[in-house]
Amino acid sequence: MKHPRGFTVFITCFLVLSSLTLWWNHRWTVLQSVRVPQTQTVTLFLPGSHGAWLSLRSMVTSLNRPHLGTFALTARVSWTGHVHWHQRRALAANNPLIPVIFADNTHPQKQARQLTTVLTQLHRRYGVTQVNLVGHSSGGTIAYDYLDDHAPAPVTVRRIAMIGADFPERTGLHAHYPRLKILNLTGVIGRTGNDSEVPANTVTPLRRLVAGHVGQYQFARIIGPVWETQHSLLHENPALDARLIRYLYPPS
């Protein structure tokens, strides 16, 4: 008896999709062997241009799932800069993770000023004194513009990780942060020299901009296949997440 062709196509598609799903989920097992200390230092996640909640959702939830960090709050910033807080967990010694979602998500300098409001409220409402920042794409530019603000929030920024960020028309930092550590990461698809959107040579100028103003600066290329290093897939890379969480919360 011959099976209908449609049934054969259905089974083939089902098996292919199942295999892809299993492979995709298996990639995240790399985080199960990671161990980091639990601290009260808050890490805020800043999405890039046109970025919304989905931009950094996988990064936050993938770190929350194996208890490397705790998805504690979401900060939603309106066009006018009003901050709406949604609390999920207590901010304790559990590496609190906070995605920041900007309604106006295409103006980094304005967003940097709004970030000042976010951090000031974190300090006043929740007693936060130390933070890390993670910025993807222009989220890294937001972090840089915040550092260059003449009226920063009453918190200490300990570490910043910038992922696939470039710094157009930016001048060197004016303020000094002698204890601040910066990790600057760029994706490189194979031998292309870029992540399909941001060339590596537009990421490297950050070294010159922060030289003599921060305590430590590191730069690294993440080289690999397109599904790991393409600009919008960098924050879907579990190996990068593992590297990131070890950097943000190093052994004491």
State residue 20's pLDDT score. 39
Distance CA 50, CA 142 (A): 13
Distance CA 129, CA 101 (A): 21
Better-predicted residue by pLDDT, 93 or 234: 93
Pairing of strands 130-136, 42-46: parallel
Pairing of strands 130-136, 177-189: unpaired
Q: What is the mean pLDDT of residues 35-48?
A: 96
In this predicted structure, the answer to whether residue 54 has a pLDDT above a threshold of 90 is no
Q: How many CA atoms lie within 13 A of 32 on its CB side?
A: 5
Q: How confident is the model at residue 30 (pLDDT cuts 50, 70, 90)?
A: confident
Q: Tell me how far the alpha carbon of residue 237 is from its chain's centroid.
A: 11
In this predicted structure, the answer to whether residue 16 has a pLDDT above a threshold of 50 is no
State residue 99's pLDDT score. 96
Better-predicted residue by pLDDT, 94 or 195: 94
Can you read off the two tokens belonging to residue 56?
């950094």
Q: Domains for the chain: give ranges and CATH numbers.
A: 34-248 (3.40.50.1820)
Better-predicted residue by pLDDT, 222 or 38: 38
In this predicted structure, the answer to whether residue 221 has a pLDDT above a threshold of 70 is yes
Distance CA 142, CA 119 (A): 13
Looking at every residue in the chain, the average pLDDT score rounds to: 88
State residue 6's pLDDT score. 58
Distance CA 206, CA 195 (A): 17
What's the Rg (C-alpha) of the chain?
Answer: 20
Classify residue 3 by its DSSP letter. Answer: P
In this predicted structure, the answer to whether residue 15 has a pLDDT above a threshold of 70 is no
Question: What does pTM read for this prediction?
Answer: 0.88
Q: How many CB atoms lie within 10 A of CB 31?
A: 17
For the segment 107-123, what is each residue's pLDDT rounded down to a tens digit? Answer: 999 999 999 999 999 99
The fraction of the chain above a pLDDT of 90, given in percent, is 65
Better-predicted residue by pLDDT, 55 or 246: 246
State residue 9's pLDDT score. 53
Q: What is the mean pLDDT of residues 146-167?
A: 92
Q: What is the mean pLDDT of residues 26-45?
A: 87
As beta bridge partners, residue 182 has: 160, 217
As beta bridge partners, residue 76 has: 84, 101
Which residue in the block uniquely carries the two structure tokens 């097992």?
29
For the segment 182-215, what is each residue's pLDDT rounded down to a tens digit? Answer: 999 999 998 888 888 888 888 888 999 999 999 9
Q: How confident is the model at residue 105 (pLDDT cuts 50, 70, 90)?
A: very high
